[in-house]
Amino acid sequence: MRLSASLAVVLLALAALSLAVGTTAFSLDQFLAALTRSDERLALIVYEIRLPRTLLAILIGGSLGLCGAGLQGLVRNPLASPSLFGAPSAAALGAVIMISSGLAGALSFALPVAGMVGALASVGALMLLAGRDAPIIVLLLAGLVLSSFAAAGTSLALNLSPNPFAALEVAFWLLGSLEDRSFQHIAMAGPFIIIGSILIATQARALKVMSLGEDTATSLGVNVQRLRLVLIVGVAMAVGAGVSVAGTIGFIGLVAPHLVRPLVGYDPARLLLPATLAGACLLLAADLLVRLVPTSGEPLKVGVVTALVGAPFFLGLVLRERRALAGRATL
């Protein structure tokens, strides 16, 4: 609990920074004036531009951290994450099909729904393909195939897009960004992200028992089929909805649980809340970095930053787990 409290403090500090930092530079006085709405123009910047962006970062980052912790507990391996299950790419495919085919506008509810359907298809297909007690190598390879397939589908949709400008816009959107998001985006995705996250959180105790393996967990009264279904649906909702408003933001789900796991005694149940908070902190921090790094043209995309930081981190994790991976034939 002390860990979660500390993370919450960090999160609040980052959130305050996120409200204060941006293209328009504020002095402390101006910031306070904006917060208290005594300066209407500045208040508009803080409440209508920076606040939704900040809230979205917390929602999406937090849910990604939670999804990673849940999936890692389910497959009993620290290398699992929504990206490795192909969920974000499949969600992106769902959303891109809706946008490029003109079936839905960028602010329609059809978008998160399509994203969730894509993510559900990919995570569900992976669990089916891999079956029970699949070795991690099978899961990773199957995940790789599914994300490549989804990426190919996305490329095809862009390729065939009748409008090159729309295609370019979609391509940029795919990079993952929280820029210029409004409360309407939060209204679109927020409910699904929150419901998905609650679904995952309800499985905390079952995830802890899964530490002993599927057979022992079943013998202890865990309904493993139901656990799996609830987690898949929860992850698909949270990731699908998140991707459909912010594009693909990778590696938060891998990194966040990993950072806090030793601090909760490796307990998969106690991990969920701190992993959520850590995920929110990471995405907020990455989004702050994006705003602070000067670029000449298009501003840096937050999805690019998380991937740049996350990929080497994942490599390090693989190298550290090398011996365990070689020794452990099955999950």
Partner 1 sequence: MTVLEARNISVSIGKARLLQPVDLSLETGTLTAILGPNGAGKSTFLKALLGLIGHGGETKLDGKTLSSLSPSERAKQIAYLPQGQNHAWPLSVEAVVALGRHPHGGQAHDDQGDNVVERVLEAMGLTALRNQSVLTLSGGEQMRVSLARALAVEASFLLADEPLASLDPRYQFEIMSVLANQAKAGKGIVVVMHDLALAARYADRLVLMKDGALLADGAPHEVLIPERVESAFGVRTHLTEVRRVEGSITAALPDRLD
Cβ(290)–Cβ(305) below 8 Å: yes
Number of residues that bind partner 1 (CB under 8 A): 24
Q: Is 268 in the site for partner 1 (CB under 8 A)?
A: yes
Q: Is the dihedral of CA 225, 220, 253, 53 positive or negative?
A: positive
Cβ(314)–Cβ(256) below 8 Å: no
Q: Is 88 in the site for partner 1 (CB under 8 A)?
A: no
Which one, 24 or 219, has the nearer CB to partner 1? 219
Q: Which of residues 13-52 bind partner 1 (CB under 8 A)?
A: none
Q: Which stretch binds partner 1 (CB under 8 A): 52-60, 135-143, 245-253, 265-273?
A: 265-273
Q: Is 211 in the site for partner 1 (CB under 8 A)?
A: yes
Q: Is 328 in the site for partner 1 (CB under 8 A)?
A: yes
Q: Is 227 in the site for partner 1 (CB under 8 A)?
A: no
Instruction: Extract the tokens encoding 223.
Output: 């309904």
Q: Is 267 in the site for partner 1 (CB under 8 A)?
A: yes
Q: Is the dihedral of CA 64, 129, 98, 233 positive or negative?
A: negative
Q: Is 320 in the site for partner 1 (CB under 8 A)?
A: no
Nearest to 90 by CA among 196, 245, 239, 302: 239
Q: Is 216 in the site for partner 1 (CB under 8 A)?
A: yes
Give the Cα separation of 99 and 28 in Å (integer).
41
Cβ 228 to partner 1 shortest distance, Å: 14
Nearest to 102 by CA among 163, 55, 50, 155: 163
| 12, 102, 128, 266: residue in contact with partner 1 (rule CB under 8 A) | 266
Q: If you ran DSSP here, which 8-state letter would residue 46 be given?
A: I
Q: Is 265 exposed, middle or buried (0-12, 13-18, 19+ CB in 10 A)?
A: exposed
Q: Which stretch binds partner 1 (CB under 8 A): 139-147, 166-174, 208-216, 230-238?
A: 208-216
Q: Which of residues 188-207 bind partner 1 (CB under 8 A)?
A: 205
Q: Which stretch binds partner 1 (CB under 8 A): 43-51, 173-181, 185-193, 214-222?
A: 214-222
Give the Cα separation of 292 and 279 in Å (integer).
20
Per-position x/- string for 46-85, each x denoting binding to partner 1 as judged by CB under 8 A, each - no binding = ------------------------------xx--------
| 30, 191, 218, 325: residue in contact with partner 1 (rule CB under 8 A) | 218
Cβ(206)–Cβ(227) below 8 Å: yes
Nearest to 239 by CA among 73, 97, 109, 123: 123
Nearest to 241 by CA among 194, 207, 171, 304: 194
Q: Is 223 in the site for partner 1 (CB under 8 A)?
A: yes
Q: Is 215 in the site for partner 1 (CB under 8 A)?
A: yes
Give the Cα separation of 97 and 279 in Å (integer).
28
Q: Which stretch binds partner 1 (CB under 8 A): 38-46, 183-191, 210-218, 235-243?
A: 210-218
Q: Which residues bind partner 1 (CB under 8 A)?
A: 76-77, 205, 208-213, 215-216, 218-223, 261, 265-268, 328, 331
